[in-house]
Every structure is written in structure tokens, then in C-alpha cells.
């Protein structure tokens, strides 16, 4: 089963928290109100949810890659 990878650049995060709202199993906020990634991989069933969360980030801090290393978001 294809595995997708999430890359997160915390230095870009502005704490908007839309990622947390859309994918709470993957994102949470730390004590400073910045996003923390709870997992860095997911499978096909989560693709819709994860791409929505990544696209929702106003700071473009979240990227998603497929198992070939191709950037999706």
C-alpha cells in the first residue's frame, strides 16, 4: 500500500491551526501555539484529509510527497 510522507517546516508556522482542525490525528499545537506533527506518514485512505490540511496552511509550512518522492502539495 502506498505510503505518503509529510514534511513540515516549523519555522514557517504562524499557528493558524487549520491543520489541527482538519487532521487532528496528525497535528496538534505545542505550548507556544505552533503546530507539532504527530506522525509523518499516512496511507491512501487519508490522502484527501491530509492534502486538505496541507493546502489549508496559510504559511505553506506543510508539504506532502508520494512514495516516489513526487510532491503532491
Q: Where are the beta strands (DSSP E) in 1-73?
A: 3-8, 27-29, 35-37, 41-43, 62-65
Nearer to ligand SF4, 27 or 42 (CB): 27
Question: Applying CB under 6 A, does 16 fall inside the site for ligand SF4?
Answer: yes
* Full strand arrangement of the beta sheet holding 41-43: 41-43, 3-8, 62-65
Nearer to ligand SF4, 2 or 38 (CB): 38
Question: Applying CB under 6 A, does 35 fall inside the site for ligand SF4?
Answer: yes
Binding stretches for ligand SF4 (CB under 6 A): 13-19, 27, 35, 56-57, 59, 61-62
Amino acid at each position: 500500500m502506498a505510503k505518503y510522507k509529510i514534511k513540515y517546516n516549523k519555522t514557517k508556522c504562524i499557528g493558524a491551526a487549520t491543520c489541527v482542525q482538519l487532521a487532528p490525528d496528525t497535528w496538534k499545537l505545542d505550548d507556544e501555539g505552533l503546530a507539532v506533527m504527530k506522525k509523518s506518514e499516512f496511507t491512501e485512505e487519508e490522502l484527501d484529509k491530509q492534502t486538505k490540511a496541507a493546502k489549508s496552511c496559510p504559511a505553506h509550512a506543510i508539504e506532502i510527497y508520494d512514495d516516489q518522492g513526487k510532491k503532491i502539495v
